[in-house]
């Protein structure tokens, strides 16, 4: 299929990324994953806005406009004929002789923007049955609000989950649950949806923001406050959200069933509301 490199749509095989691209060597860049439902990019505006926010937080000049990125991305999805799938996009600080400090402004180094598409069906059976999770220590840095290319702690946590045949690793700092390795995490207790505040310790997911809206519109309390591993164990319901996983019930944590081991009522209600939003 086709891809985007800078302001051009090209064949994937025509791309050359420099060995000294700072994304490759330092993880010096930011990214987004956007869902495609029936050929339409879901919440593309919010994702591109967050890409620019992440870039700004690492003092990276994207050197393209959001309108340009949006236009190119829509064209790419059309050209590749993506029906249900996703777009991965990233921007790095570009290629320069390897040195930790930023390339000098007068050097010819320019940000490198790339994007490509994937065909991915919605995870229908997992959404219905729910998934299992483990918990593990959150060993990431203190700027998890930035959607940075540096994902080694996330990769290690997800692999730990995979090694236990689990779908996700739910992270905690000193017993306080932050989020999943690639998702936001929630408990439901006494009819309230509870999730970690959107500060520097989590990524404020676009799906999380849609969920907050859905809760508000439907009179479901959406409470942003810290909760602990013990609350996860004692929750009425547990679920995670992400662009790829949508609203995903968690029915077992560390091998222990959550409540009766079935996706909870509020989780299912939120799934229905989310489904209505994407259609
Ligand atoms: N991950 N928290 C982390 C650490 C994430 O990596 C993600 C998304 C989320 C959920 O954000 P959103 O709802 O905007 O997708 C929360 C993407 C999908 C990924 O890395 O593949």
CATH match for 2-119 among 3.30.470.10, 3.40.630.30, 3.30.450.40, 3.30.70.1140: 3.30.470.10
Listed in sequence order, the residues at least 6 apart from 138 whose beta carbon sits closer than 8 Å to its beta carbon are 153, 157, 171, 172, 173, 178, 201
Q: What are the pLDDT digits (tens) for 67-111? A: 999 999 999 999 999 999 999 999 999 999 999 999 998 999 999
Domain ranges across the chain: 2-119, 124-278
Q: Find the radius of gyration of the CA atoms of the chain.
A: 19
Q: Which two tokens stand for residue 141?
A: 């840095």
Task: Indicate which atom in ligand 1 lies nearest the CA of residue 244.
Answer: 18
Q: Which two tokens stand for residue 263?
A: 């996706």
pTM, to two decimals: 0.98
Task: Indicate which atom in ligand 1 lies nearest the CA of residue 47.
Answer: 14
By alpha-carbon position, which residue is closest to atom 20 of ligand 1? 182
147 is known as an active-site residue: yes
Superfamily grouping for domain 124-278: D-amino Acid Aminotransferase, subunit A, domain 2 (3.20.10.10)
- Percent of the chain exceeding pLDDT 90 equals 99
DSSP E strand boundaries for the chain: 2-5, 8-11, 29-37, 40-41, 85-92, 112-119, 131-137, 168-173, 176-180, 184-189, 192-195, 222-224, 237-242, 246-253, 256-257
- Distance between Cα 243 and ligand 1 center (Å): 6
Query: What does the pLDDT read at residue 220?
Result: 98
Q: What are the pLDDT digits (tens) for 180-190? A: 999 999 999 99
- Distance between Cα 97 and ligand 1 center (Å): 31
With the most atoms of ligand 1 within 8 angstroms of its CB, the residue from 27, 32, 33 to mutate is 33
Query: What does the pLDDT read at residue 250?
Result: 99
As for the ipTM of the complex, it is: 0.99
Nearest alpha-carbon partner for 178 in 239, 137, 234, 221:
137
Is the CB of 207 within 6 Å of ligand 1? yes
By alpha-carbon position, which residue is closest to atom 4 of ligand 1? 182
With the most atoms of ligand 1 within 8 angstroms of its CB, the residue from 146, 169, 182 to mutate is 182
Q: What are the pLDDT digits (tens) for 235-258? A: 999 999 999 999 999 999 999 999
The Cα 244–Cα 265 span in angstroms is 22
Q: Which two tokens stand for residue 259?
A: 């409540």
């Amino acid at each position: 299929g086709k891809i985007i490199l800078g302001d051009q749509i090209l064949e994937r095989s025509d791309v050359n990324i420099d060995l000294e691209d700072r994304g490759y060597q330092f993880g010096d860049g930011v990214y987004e994953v956007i869902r495609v439902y029936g050929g339409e990019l879901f919440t593309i505006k919010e994702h591109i806005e967050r890409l620019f926010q992440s870039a700004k937080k690492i003092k990276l000049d994207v050197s393209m406009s959001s309108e340009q990125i949006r236009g190119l991305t829509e064209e790419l999805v059309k050209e590749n004929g993506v029906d249900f799938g996703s777009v991965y996009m990233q921007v790095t600080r570009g290629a320069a002789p390897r040195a930790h400090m930023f390339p000098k402004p007068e050097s010819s180094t320019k940000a490198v923007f790339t994007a490509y598409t994937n065909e991915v069906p919605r995870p229908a059976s997992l959404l219905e049955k729910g998934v299992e999770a483990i918990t593990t220590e959150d060993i990431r840095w203190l700027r998890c609000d930035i959607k940075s290319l540096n994902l080694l702690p996330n990769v290690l946590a997800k692999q730990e989950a995979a090694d236990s045949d689990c779908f996700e690793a739910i992270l905690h700092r000193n017993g306080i649950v932050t989020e999943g390795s690639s998702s936001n995490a929630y408990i439901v207790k006494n009819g309230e949806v509870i999730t970690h505040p959107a500060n520097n310790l989590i990524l404020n997911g676009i799906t999380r923001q849609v969920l907050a809206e859905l809760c508000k519109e439907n009179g479901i309390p959406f409470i942003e406050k810290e909760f602990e591993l013990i609350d996860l164990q004692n929750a009425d319901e547990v679920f995670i959200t992400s662009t790829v996983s949508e609203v995903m019930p968690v029915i077992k944590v560390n091998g222990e069933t959550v409540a009766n081991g079935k996706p909870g009522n509020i989780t299912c209600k939120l799934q229905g509301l989310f489904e209505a939003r994407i259609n």
